[in-house]
Chain A
Amino acid sequence: MFEYIVQQLINGISIGSIYALIALGYTMVYGIIKLINFAHGDVFMVGAFVGYFAAKAGLGLFWSLILAMAVCAILGVLIERLAYRPLRGAARIVILITAIGVSFLLENLGIYALGPQAKGFPEIVTKTQYTLFGDVTINSVQIIVLAVTVILMVLLQYVVHKTKMGKAMRAVSYDMEAARLMGINVDTTISFTFAIGSALAGAAGVVFAVMYPSVDPLMGIIPGLKAFVAAVLGGIGIIPGALVGGLVLGIVETGVSSAGFSLWRDGAAFAILILILIFKPSGLFGKNVREKV
């Protein structure tokens, strides 16, 4: 029984770290311009496809990751420039709806260009099973995913809190107008945020495709939604919150399935979202901030 629980915990952490990786990008974009970027899940899909073609061309995991992150960063900046920047002064709901539009556009462009069928992802990482003790096993891909997530989160924390660009980002997040008056180039800062957020989505896409070896143009929808739940759970806009939110969500889902209630898994995930929104709308890590008047 103990072994069973530990094994399920490992399963939960490994799926949770993928949610966390996607949630990092969500939370970051929200933190800066208060936009829930619904196209994030589809940038994730594009990343997976870049990884797919890179892997087919014979590149290893590292270079596939780098390539996918680079392409997605450019894509993110383009989306921001073309779709969101012209609406900078508009109401938030307008930008939100635009984000949904961008999401549909990417999905259907994907179907048009690549076909709707799921394609098998080449095996670029040899999966090795390690036995920890008794019957409990963990495989190399699960370890890689967790490692990639933690490394990227630490890097992100560093960029946001220790660099000049990070300072600019925090300033824009706090008050866009005041930041502009202080001589911060707001447009560049937002572009940079999108580049990083989208690069994270691209990395998540490749890692996801390595773990669950298939890619298709609609693959971003469900992970995108789950990551959104994770981001809200941890406190949207807060970077460590995304990691904790993702892990909690993964463990809860696995726990529900492992107790024999596999039908209730998604129900439990979204029930948590509702409970959090009722009792602590700012998330586990969030502080209650009074609206500025």
Chain B
Amino acid sequence: MSTEEEVNAKIHSAGPLGVKKTELRKMFTGSDFEELLDKLVTSGDVVIEKKGTTYYCWHKEHYLQRLLNSDPKFRLIYESLRSLEKSMTESTFQNSTSNYTTKTEILGNDPISTGYSGSSVYLDSSEFMKEFDKSIAENSNSIGWVELEKVRNDLSNKHIYQQEDFYNQVRLLVESNTDKYELSTGGNDGVMIRGMLHGFVRCI
């Protein structure tokens, strides 16, 4: 991995919290660090902003999340735009279901691809699965089960999730990976299947 890729990866791993520029400079000592960082900023992969008296760096994928977390005015405008897009999409395909190809086309190849719904920020399906698996591993009891509510709270600490959107993603994930996950009834909230609330999940 080149130094540029290492710097990029390091900034990416910091997530929405970002990483101090000074810390990066200490990690990547060398005369070309500033050049590398400028290159990343110019290409649009990295955003630098002053937070208080310190300069922080964010990867572009996490900068949006940071803005949504920290800037109420931005968040309100953003939510309004997404709501408008959603109602336009819904009115064009009134009778559509999740199998509609055109919806797939608009959102990308994956039905759970990077997209937005209301004020939730979706992860793409592989990212969501990774985070989901990690949360299950960290929160499950000795027999492997964990309440979906706990997983949702866990993921909500890192990303914004509407309850409905989270459970829609869970449903899609579980339905397309029946060999990997199983659900069980009970709990305070969860996925409705066969008219029963399934609020527990585990990895098989």
A binds B: no
Residue positions of A touching B, CB distance < 8 A: none
